[in-house]
Amino acid sequence: MPSLEAGAEIGATSIQIFTQSPRMWKPSQYAASVLAAYREAQAQHPSITDTFCHATYLINLASADPDLYEKSVECLINNLSVARGMASSGLVLHVGSHKGAGFEDVVSQIARAFERALDDADPAPEGYVECPILIENAAGAGGTVGRSLEEIEALISACGGDERLGLCIDTQHLWASGVDYSSVAGTKKLVKEIAERVGLDRLRCLHLNDSKIELGANRDRHANIDEGTIGSKGLAPLVGHPKIRELPLLLEVPGDGGGPRASDVAQARKVVSVGVKLYSKPAHAAGVKKAAAHEPAVKKSKKK
């Protein structure tokens, strides 16, 4: 499969793909045999362990326009059906924008959209777990939904805590929305909030990106690692945290214009290594030889 091999070529162990054009409504149609072939290729791949899907950017579950809302729900249902058919590890979703109407006014309609998609999408093939919808945190521009963990908590609660809803944290969006995790103390505070509001079991992956804009600037502007305002030093505490470090990290960086490169994956691995060391405990007594720290395999991805 081209997507799997493209990821393997840059040293990735996880990939993220679109199941259709990200900026077109027309869904791609896949025969059952094609989806089955992908499941088999993924299961047997020697290095790629997870495939995540990303829902179409045009989806806006917070829209006041009935036609756009309905079109968005139908698109989400299709995207989730394909993701389930591929045995994807999660379908990442930008919820949309209420365009200034107010978050409280759109919670119910978003919850109804989630419930329709989760119930109406084609079920996962026999023997496979249901692919969750992973709500991605927003950078905070305009009326975007999901700009805080509090909002994401409210959306999941409105669906009765449905276990098929999860979370994808984007490091650039988090930074843009004013969350400073660039220190161990800041990261511990963030991880505690995730655990209390959403649950760490719902956090399935991270989008690992640097930021072209400053902390709290509320704009979605990704940068290659160490070419932005966060840098390796700022990202390390988060990706090295003991409760985060095993999660798949999906690079959504520009590279040299064509997306993540092998050098970007290598740099991401270095950031994780530095982060893990931040949480290493010193030897308890002098003269005792410290065992070599185990650094777990960390998953990176190329976004297609």
- Reading the block at residue 130, the tokens are 């249901």
pLDDT tens, N- to C-terminus, the chain (304 residues): 899 999 999 999 999 999 999 989 999 899 999 999 999 999 999 999 999 999 999 999 999 999 999 999 999 999 999 999 999 999 999 999 999 999 999 999 999 999 999 999 999 999 999 999 999 999 998 899 999 999 999 999 999 999 999 999 999 999 999 999 999 999 999 999 999 999 999 999 999 999 999 999 999 999 999 999 999 999 999 999 999 999 999 999 999 999 999 999 999 999 999 999 999 976 333 333 323 332 333 444 443 3
Report if residue 129 sits inside a domain.
yes
CB-CB contact of 129 with 89 (8 Å): no
Cβ neighbours of residue 114 closer than 8 Å, sequence gap 6 or more: 61, 133, 155, 159, 162, 165
Number of domains within the chain: 1
pLDDT of residue 10: 97
Report if residue 284 sits inside a domain.
no
User: What is the C-alpha separation between 280 and 257, in angstroms, rounded?
Assistant: 36
Over residues 153-184, the pLDDT tens digits come to 999 999 999 999 999 999 999 999 999 999 99
Report if residue 203 sits inside a domain.
yes
Cβ neighbours of residue 94 closer than 8 Å, sequence gap 6 or more: 55, 57, 59, 136, 138, 144, 146
- Reading the block at residue 226, the tokens are 């160490």
For residue 57, how many other CB atoms are within 10 A of its CB?
A: 13
Report if residue 285 sits inside a domain.
no
Q: Give the residue numbers spanning the domain of 81.
A: 2-278
Report if residue 292 sits inside a domain.
no
Judge residue 108's burial from the number of C-beta atoms within 10 Å of its C-beta, 0-12 exposed, 13-18 middle, 19 or more buried: exposed
- Reading the block at residue 232, the tokens are 């390796």
pLDDT of residue 286: 34
CATH at residue 123: 3.20.20.150
Report if residue 68 sits inside a domain.
yes
Going by their DSSP bridges, the two strands 222-223 and 210-211 should be labelled as antiparallel
Place of tokens 């650094």: 295
Q: Which pTM was predicted?
A: 0.92
Report if residue 294 sits inside a domain.
no
CB-CB contact of 22 with 79 (8 Å): no
pLDDT of residue 281: 72
Report if residue 288 sits inside a domain.
no
